[in-house]
């Protein structure tokens, strides 16, 4: 049996982690569920977890983000309860990316509407000759 | 197609690759394999003395064992990659992403592999994010879907 753990990060205005948890319990699937501050962690057989989470994503396609997690929920090697607090490894990446998630959500909405973003003009690096001119001008004014 | 992502533990990249119908190659799956194997020798990652030996494929013996140990984790991902998405200079470099030399080596190996590659910067505004997601979707659409590749 191929067991995997997936974490569901919820950054939604209409779905709460508790709503997702209730939906998962309703499915009666053979999975382990843990509600966390950022969303939920689901552990179980790969096929079950994948199909379950694809239906969960439909609750808010722009506000639910999913990735695989190496360690199962409550793993004693990583769990903060057994390591006496502190950020668990991977927390900092999650924290950083969590701040960008609202932007990603609106970008996904725009993409579904068929919006094509304007290409940003790249800032050109300063030409050496131009720099020399600026230095000369500065020397003259002094 | 199997798409290597960098930072390899990124939630956004992993989610977007899966959303657009491809398989993300992320470090979490490799860690998961090691954690779930029976009989842990050296928890939590079960990095045994064998792993730095595997890393010799990429780095010489005098290179710190941390680089070689990490490369043993990254090796299956790099060898399986059919395409790659790299975010330049990610803000976080903690945990498995915490070794600058390993990160440089991974970027070099991916570029040297001559596979379809997309390089981006993390968005800091909504407009940047729109460009970020659009570029990723266009890049992933240009690749064969995961089912066809099989």
How far is A74 from chain B, CA to nearest CA, in Å? Answer: 13
* pLDDT on residue B38: 67
Interface membership of A89 toward B (CB under 8 Å): yes
Mean pLDDT within A95-120: 90
Q: What is the pLDDT of residue A24?
A: 92
Mean pLDDT, to the nearest integer, of A109-131?
87
Please give the share of chain A, as a percent, with pLDDT higher than 70.
Answer: 97
Minimal-distance CA residue of chain B relative to A94? B11
Judging by DSSP bridges, how do beta strands B83-88 and A64-69 pair with one another?
A: unpaired
**C-alpha distance from A121 to closest chain B C-alpha (Å):** 12
The answer to whether B122 and B92 are in contact (CB under 8 A) is no
Residue A53 has pLDDT above 90, yes or no: yes
Q: What is the pLDDT of residues B45-82, one digit of tens each?
A: 666 777 777 788 888 888 887 788 888 888 889 999 99
A5 sits in which H/E element: strand A3-10
d(CA A101, CA B38): 36
Pair type for strands B23-25 and B117-121: unpaired
- Judged by a CB distance cut-off of 8 A, whether residue A106 touches chain B is yes
**Helix axis angle, B11-19 to A91-112, nearest 10°:** 40
pLDDT tops 90 at residue B102 = no
pLDDT tops 60 at residue B126: yes
Domain range list for chain A: 3-112
* Domain ranges within chain B, ordered by starting residue: 2-149
Helix, strand, or coil (residue B56): helix
**pLDDT band of B149, cuts 50, 70, 90:** low
- Provide the pLDDT for residue B98: 67
pLDDT in tens, A75-89: 777 777 777 777 777
Residue given tokens 């977007």 in the structure block: B16
What class does CATH assign to B2-149? alpha beta
Is 3.30.70 the CATH number for A3-112?
yes
Give the 3-state secondary structure of residue B70. helix
Other CB atoms within a 10 A radius of the CB of residue B148 amount to 9
Which chain A residues are Cβ-neighbours of B28 within 8 angstroms?
67-70
Q: Residue A23: pLDDT band by 50, 70, 90 thresholds? A: very high
Q: Between helices A91-112 and B126-142, what is the axis angle to 10°?
A: 80
């Amino acid at each position: 049996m191929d067991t995997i753990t997936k974490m569901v990060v919820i950054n939604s205005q209409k779905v709460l982690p508790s709503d997702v948890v209730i939906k998962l319990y309703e499915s009666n699937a053979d999975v382990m569920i843990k509600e966390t501050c950022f969303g939920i962690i689901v552990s179980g057989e790969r096929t079950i977890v994948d199909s379950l989470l694809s239906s969960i994503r439909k609750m808010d396609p722009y506000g639910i983000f999913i990735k695989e997690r190496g360690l199962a929920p409550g793993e004693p090697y990583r769990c903060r309860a057994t390591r006496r607090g502190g950020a668990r490894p991977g927390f900092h990446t999650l924290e950083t990316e969590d701040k960008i998630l609202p932007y990603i959500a609106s970008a996904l909405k725009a993409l579904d509407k068929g919006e094509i973003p304007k290409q940003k003009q790249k800032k050109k690096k300063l030409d050496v000759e131009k720099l020399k001119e600026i230095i000369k001008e500065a020397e003259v004014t002094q | 197609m199997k798409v290597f992502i960098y930072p390899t533990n990124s939630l956004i990249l992993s989610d977007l690759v899966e959303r657009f119908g491809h398989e993300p190659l992320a470090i979490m799956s490799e860690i998961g394999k090691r954690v779930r194997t029976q009989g842990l020798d050296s928890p939590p990652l079960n990095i045994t003395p064998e792993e730095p030996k595997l890393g010799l494929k990429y780095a010489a013996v005098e290179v710190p064992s941390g680089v070689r140990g990490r490369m043993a984790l990254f090796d299956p991902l790099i060898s399986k990659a059919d395409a790659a998405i790299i975010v330049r200079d990610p803000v976080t470099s903690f945990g498995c992403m915490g070794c600058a030399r390993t990160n440089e080596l991974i970027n070099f190996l991916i570029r040297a592999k001559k596979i379809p590659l997309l390089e981006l910067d993390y968005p800091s505004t909504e407009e940047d994010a729109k460009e970020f997601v659009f570029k990723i979707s266009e890049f992933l659409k240009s690749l064969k879907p995961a089912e066809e590749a099989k």
